[in-house]
């Protein structure tokens, strides 16, 4: 008998196309979780699949120190789409590694040790990123974690000014907390974090792993605020489901080659997938669609089921519906009775992170389903 470390759902997925997943027996699901935002352009987008196949046949892997044009193209694209033209790129294999690198780089560049994170934050599960993650249940039994990590109240600049000092290496923050409950800060929060970090010479690490790639209506959420962080991290759907992490950093943060490393940094197939994903997001105007359909969903959900919930919030296609009781039974019924897959964010929030190709008719199906089943589970 095999023991699985990952929890298992009772749905045997066989293939995917666009916003849908299909089981082995042909049941169709509307995928509003996109496997934790990993397929922004939808499942099996033909341009992305073709780019991966072409590269796979040419060269499946070569170590990062041999320059190859597909990786150079990817570096260039990442710099071009970065906020404020951030010039230095580190590639790795997951979100937690991207943040791990960010923490190391910030400590190295500042020669300071304190890292300030926020309550309810989620930054990953390796030791450094886990130390910056808030939820005690994720940490229980794994200590001692890395010293000198402190937490302030998300969205409250006074809480940050009380803790930050010239001993602070970095402040790490999500523009909108995803896993922590789809929590939005006040509109000027990122600008204030930028100002306060600059005043003490600490790095600002912006974790756009969930909010980036067009999800909230612009390529990066920070494009809406004109904030340029010192370090920006990305992962999830950047290679449309192949493992990737990206740490973009300003010149004063950038490491010397060899100070940090990873065998799989910038493999050619991943870079091909990354180039194609960025092209599709831009050429198909997916941030604009996320903004349009997201605003529609937010308004219609509020009008239809607002009174049956505690709160409905979010930006673009990162939305959270805070229900009056647990989100678990609702997620189960959504899948079982309505063929819709969504995600939790904590115990009481139903989170949706669909492919950015979602249209109005898919949105309407979700609204109808939520309206229907909130009657039952209330």
Ligand X SMILES: Cc1ncc(COP(=O)(O)O)c(C=O)c1O
Interface residues toward ligand X, by CB under 6 A: 36, 94-96, 99, 122-124, 174, 178-179, 207, 209-210, 235
Nearer to ligand X, 177 or 370 (CB): 177
Compute the distance between CA of residue 95 and CA of residue 185 in angstroms, rounded to an integer: 22
Shortest distance, position 273 Cβ to ligand X, whole Å = 15
Nearer to ligand X, 177 or 275 (CB): 177
Shortest distance, position 227 Cβ to ligand X, whole Å = 17
Shortest distance, position 119 Cβ to ligand X, whole Å = 14
Shortest distance, position 96 Cβ to ligand X, whole Å = 3
Q: Give ∠ CA 216-359-26 in degrees, rounded to 5.
A: 115
Nearer to ligand X, 22 or 36 (CB): 36
- Upstream peptide bond of 144 is cis (omega within 30 degrees of 0): yes
Instruction: Take residue 219 and report the two structure tokens written for it.
Output: 């390529």
Nearer to ligand X, 197 or 221 (CB): 221
Nearer to ligand X, 112 or 123 (CB): 123
Compute the distance between CA of residue 25 and CA of residue 22 in angstroms, rounded to an integer: 8
**Residue pair 105/249 in contact by the 8 Å Cβ criterion:** yes
Shortest distance, position 219 Cβ to ligand X, whole Å = 16
Shortest distance, position 95 Cβ to ligand X, whole Å = 2
**What residue number has its CB nearest to ligand X?**
95
Compute the distance between CA of residue 181 and CA of residue 121 in angstroms, rounded to an integer: 9
Compute the distance between CA of residue 93 and CA of residue 164 in angstroms, rounded to an integer: 31
Nearer to ligand X, 55 or 94 (CB): 94
């Amino acid at each position: 008998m095999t023991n699985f470390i990952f929890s298992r759902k009772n749905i045997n997925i066989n293939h995917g196309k666009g916003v849908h997943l299909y089981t082995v027996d042909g049941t169709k699901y509307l995928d509003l979780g996109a496997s934790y935002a990993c397929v922004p352009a939808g499942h099996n987008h033909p341009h992305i699949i073709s780019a991966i196949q072409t590269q796979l046949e040419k060269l499946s892997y070569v170590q990062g120190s041999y320059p190859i044009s597909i990786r150079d193209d990817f570096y260039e694209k990442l710099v071009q789409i970065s906020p404020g033209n951030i010039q230095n790129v580190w590639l790795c294999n997951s979100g937690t590694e991207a943040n791990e690198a960010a923490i190391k780089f910030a400590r190295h560049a500042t020669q300071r040790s304190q890292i300030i994170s926020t309550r309810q934050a989620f930054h990953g599960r390796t030791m450094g990123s886990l130390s910056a993650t808030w939820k005690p249940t994720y940490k229980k039994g794994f200590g001692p974690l890395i010293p000198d990590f402190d937490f302030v109240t998300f969205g409250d600049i006074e809480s940050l000014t009380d803790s930050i000092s010239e001993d602070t290496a970095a402040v790490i923050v999500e523009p909108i907390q995803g896993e922590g409950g789809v929590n939005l800060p006040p509109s000027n929060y990122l600008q204030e974090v930028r100002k306060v970090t600059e005043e003490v010479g600490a790095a600002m690490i912006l974790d756009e792993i969930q909010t980036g790639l067009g999800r909230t209506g612009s390529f990066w959420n920070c494009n809406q605020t004109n904030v340029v962080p010192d370090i920006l991290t990305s992962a999830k759907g950047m290679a449309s489901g192949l493992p990737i992490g990206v740490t973009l950093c300003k010149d004063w943060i950038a490491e010397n080659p060899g100070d940090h490393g990873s065998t799989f940094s910038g493999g050619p197939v991943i870079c091909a997938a990354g180039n194609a994903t960025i092209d599709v997001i831009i050429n198909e105007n997916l941030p604009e669609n996320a903004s349009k359909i997201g605003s529609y969903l937010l308004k219609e959900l509020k009008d239809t089921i607002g009174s049956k919930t505690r709160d409905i919030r979010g930006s673009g296609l990162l939305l959270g519906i805070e229900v009056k009781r647990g989100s678990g039974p609702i997620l189960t019924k959504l899948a079982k009775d309505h063929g819709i897959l969504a995600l939790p964010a904590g115990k009481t929030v139903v989170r949706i992170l669909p492919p950015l190709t979602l249209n109005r008719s898919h949105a309407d199906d979700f609204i109808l389903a939520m309206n229907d089943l909130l009657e039952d589970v209330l």
